[in-house]
Structure 1
Amino acid sequence: MEDQPLATALDSLAQIPAPFDSNQFTLVEQLTQWARRRIDERVFRPGMRMPSIRQLAVDKGVSRFTVVEAYERLVATGYLESRRGSGFYVREQRSPVLAPKRSRAVPTTMDVTWLLNAMLQTTVPEKGPGLGYLPNAWLDGEMLANGLRSVARRSGALLQYAVPQGYAPLRQQLQTRLAEIEIAASPEQIVLLSGVTQGLDLVARLHVAPGDAVMVGDPAWFQMFGRFAAQGARLIGFPYTSNGPDLDALEALAKEWRPKLLVINSALQNPTGTSLSAAQAFRILQIAERYDFKIVEDDIYGDLCPMGASIARLASLDQLKRVIYLSSFSKTLAANLRVGYLACEAGLARRVADQKMLVGFTTPEINERLVYQILTEGHYRRHVERLRQKLDQAREPAARKLERVGLRLFAEPNAGMFLWADARRDSSTIAAAAHEAGFLFAPGALFSPSQTPSSWMRFNVANLNDPLLFDFLARQMDA
């Protein structure tokens, strides 16, 4: 009986309805929300003059009264200030929505924080070609709901603190899964995390001191740049070719900078979609040994690889001597189900678990039990196979559509969700125009550790189904 309230709550969570339709808002409310989003996302920055009442009324197809009412509401809520005879201006925000002041000038282009915020607010997949996760319709909500109900029926242990390394049965199950890709790791070598991001944070805290060099792909997953930079690291980007990392350039940079870490995707690299061959993996390990640095292998997309694919994991060749292996279930089960894991040498695993306790105590065992339930019931393999099939069906048509509007593909991946495409002009400019048109793009500058302007963009093949998107891209390519 004591578990019944928790079971009821979990069952309710599995049935939460989708967000309400924006058409239920009045024109004033819709215009107010439009302006607030752009201020919160720093498209409209403090001190910037807002469009005139007449201009905005024409642009949005509404009356001047609607614009006046919306602006007045924004003044009342502290977003704008009215300057008599001059117009309305964005007020300096005192809420935590905006980034803290820095000693350097605030950039005038889109940044990583902008994209992360925008990704979390995009609810219509077809409007998010730059999103980094699969649409809800592709995932199995019923499988998660059934798992939650099963966990709730055995929830007495959830009232206690979890153990630092994470739920032991799940770590034992992960030992079996890692063995399937020829990585030998005991449960004592595995630490459960809230995702790959937490794993990178813990590794940075343990291995990186201010001034240390960390080698990352250029391009690569943008969120890790900020994490290592916050630790005081010097980010050194190595280039990619259509066949994977440029290993001659990587070795030259390793020789020059003597890095502490190399961070790399072995399978379906984000954003290029390339994967390591056995020869490439062997050479990377040789370079790491020659210049004495550790490798952080991010295999978050590994489950999206075809069964039997000839993709080499660095950890399987090295057996966790120099390699720290990271993965997660957020891309295949649910973005909001924050369960990842790290596998490494046993002594380092204990240090990672200690650091995890100091930083955030333990990870929620309810999430870990849910993943264990799904893995052991045998549903996960079939679910992932369905995802692979859907991606395979979407990838080729998406690639051809992008080429028809004038974009050039970096590579033609045979798996995964990403295409990396060249627009031959600054993609940040295209992304800004797309944002106004209601689309979320991922411009190439955000995937570079130097954040320099780029003509490249990342596309998610699962979210390229809106004809209006390709109409927009065609106009931009002709501009």
Structure 2
Amino acid sequence: MANTRDALGTAQPQAFKPGMPLIALLSRESGESLADQIVRSVVARIDDKVLRSGARMPSIRAFAQSHGVSPFTVVASYDRLVARGYLESRRGAGFYVRERAAPILRSTRDPAAAHGIEGGAMDVTWLVRNMFRQAPYQQMPGTGVLPSDWLDGAGIANALRAISRQHPGTLVNYGVPQGFLPLRQQLQQKLGELEVQATPEQIVTTAGVTQALDMVAREFTQPGDTIFVDDPAWFLMFGSFAALGARVVGIPRLADGPDLAALAQLAALHKPKLYVINSVLHNPSSTSLSAAKAFQILRLAEEHDFLVVEDDIYCDLHPGPAVQPVTRLAALDQLQRVIYLGGFSKTMAANLRVGYIATSRERAQRLADRKMLQTLTTSEIGERVVYKVLSEGTFRKHTDRIRTRLDELRSRTVRQMERVGLKIAVAPMAGMFVWADAGRDTNVLAAQAMGQDLLLAPGSLFSPSQLPSQYMRLNIAAMQEPAVWRFLEKELA
């Protein structure tokens, strides 16, 4: 097998031919040896069944020639893969992918799956830890949030003061497991504007979309089950799902949604329980799902009996169908097979940790019971604050201002990215992220940037396989610091 790349840089399987590379990117600049990179890449392809049991591996000479490495490196890599049970050596015939009794779950904390950098391994934990460090926002172009001065801190403060005066009991009492009823009624109206019909009984509040994903995975999967995610996709869920004992398989993401041929093939092979997808303003590319693909996803979900988890956390950054066409799976399916997730951390306040799940009445009750057993309730203080902001009508104007500021930055920021040597295959029309091709291993680039107190988000962390990548996610709202441009211009020249 070998890999090509789609418009978003996602690996696409195709038949191996002599002279074609089996591995998309080997980096001599990283702290990881070439043999380690080869072993890790082949393991990922076998675990994801891109390389099937019984497949013949390229000969040592062919592999060495197609990847520009020495035969000794290939021999060492193949020997280690044999020792780990991934390959078998057949005398006089070469190396073959070995039949495996059970899949091996790859953890994002596996030292063999991480690039070493000074101060620790560059993995998902490294990125999240550094996103929470006390550094100027302008020095973190890899961050996933907007600047605090873009958000409505004054409105949140006013809402908190009003709640403490009018409802002092909320400061000391539990809420209810399903969530603050007036907020769920307000969310019913918000969902109706998105053409998703849901009663308050079909909505469960959560501590952000992160908890929502964890609750859904715990309720609807068991250890050993498969969960599909986009590849690339939001990185935090990979380790979370793997920690539950789930097998996480990436579905190549194209500019208009998933690769449907790959989705159909992998669904037949793995029989997943869930498929987690951003339909609107996908993270990290800010692209959206086409209507044609939305219908096909639901057809495949019905055919292979899996639930679709639609993460719409960036909902309020999209200008709406009157400005740009947009299709939500929940609007087509009306929560029959789709579990819809939303929240306000990106546009209102991350610190409130208020998200929600909308689904069928029966699933909502199951999730509310699970939430009760896990955490009793979520904070009603935060839920009341969100309710007050939404019900007073100021939130719509606030999000209009955010979208306008992003629109004013986007085109000139993308042009400047291209001037310093980044390639943008799909320029986004909305949202805060750009998925950029740096033309080199972005783990190495991120390590160099960290040496200058600049945080980048390398593309390897956005794939469940965490293979080396030339891509990285950049936040246009955090790209206004001259030091960021000086660094990129120097390193990419």
TM-score scaled by structure 2? 0.75
Q: Report how far residue 277 of structure 1 moved.
A: 1.7
Match of 1:124 among 108, 111, 136: 136
2:350 corresponds to 1:338: no
Identify the match of residue 280 of structure 1 among 288, 293, 308. 293
Could you tell me how far apart the structure 1 residues matched to 2:274 and 2:146 are?
A: 30
Give 2:363's match in structure 1, choosing from 341, 348, 354.
Answer: 348
Within the alignment, does 1:191 sit opposite 2:204 as a pair? Answer: yes
Aligned residues of 1:398 and 1:464 also touching (Cα < 8 A):
yes
Distance 1:453 1:347, change over 3 A: same
* 3-state SS in 2 of match to 1:454: coil
Shift, 1:156, TM fit: 3.1
Per-residue deviation, 1:332 = 0.3
Pair 1:409–1:239, CA change in 2 (3 A): same
1:141 corresponds in structure 2 to 153
Q: Which residue of 1 aligns with 2:372?
A: 357
- 2:454 aligned with 1:439, yes or no? yes
Quote how far apart the aligned CAs of 1:243 are. 2.8
Task: Specify the SS of the correspondent of 1:450.
Answer: coil
Name the CA distance, whole Å, in 2 between partners of 1:283 and 1:339.
31
Give 2:125's aligned residue: 113
Residues in 2 aligned to 1:292 and 1:364: alpha-carbon distance in whole angstroms: 35
Match of 1:415 among 430, 436, 442: 430
Aligned amino acid, residue 326 of structure 1: L
User: Larger deviation: 305-314 or 227-236?
Assistant: 305-314
Deviation at 1:104, TM superposition (A): 6.2
Whole-angstrom CA distance in 1 between matches of 2:221 and 2:392: 40
Q: Structure 2 matches for 1:170-249, cutoff 5 A?
A: 170-249=183-262
Shift of 1:397: 1.1
Cα deviation for residue 106 of structure 1 reads 7.9
Deviation of residue 206 (structure 1)? 0.8
Question: What is the Cα deviation at residue 125 of structure 1?
Answer: 1.7
| Alpha-carbon spacing, 1:424–1:103, altered in 2? closer, same or farther (3 Å) | closer
- Cα distance in 2 between the residues matched to 1:318 and 1:462: 34
> Residue 378 and residue 102 in structure 1: after superposition, are their counterparts in 2 closer, same or farther (change >3 A)?
closer
Task: Pick the aligned partner of 1:156 from 168, 192, 196.
Answer: 168
Deviation at 1:127, TM superposition (A): 0.3
Q: Which residue of 1 aligns with 2:341?
A: 326
SS at match of 1:285: helix
Tell me the CA shift for residue 299 of structure 1: 0.2
Number of aligned residues = 380
* Larger displacement relative to structure 2 (118-127 or 175-184): 118-127
Distance 1:183 1:320 in 2: 8
**Gap regions ≥5 residues in structure 2:** 1-30, 32-106
Q: How does 1:396-415 map to 2 (within 5 A)?
A: 396-415=411-430
Assess if the C-alpha contact under 8 Å between 1:276 and 1:312 holds in 2.
yes
- Residue 437 of structure 1: CA displacement? 0.6
RMSD: 1.7
Give the corresponding residue for 1:394. 409
> Which stretches in structure 1 are left out of the alignment for 5+ residues?
1-42, 44-99
Distance (Å, rounded) in 2 between the aligned partners of 1:101 and 1:250: 23
Q: Does 1:465 align with 2:480?
A: yes
Give 1:424's aligned amino acid: G
Is the contact between residue 122 and residue 128 of structure 1 (CA under 8 Å) also seen in structure 2? no
**How far did 1:116 drift?**
0.6
Q: Which amino acid aligns with 1:405?
A: V
The equivalent of 1:36 in structure 2 is none
Give the Cα–Cα distance (whole angstroms) in 2 for the partners of residues 395 and 248 of structure 1: 32
2:486 is paired with a residue whose SS is helix
In the alignment, the residues of structure 1 paired with residue 387 and residue 462 of structure 2 have an alpha-carbon distance, to the nearest angstrom, of: 33
SS of equivalent residue, structure 2 residue 132: helix
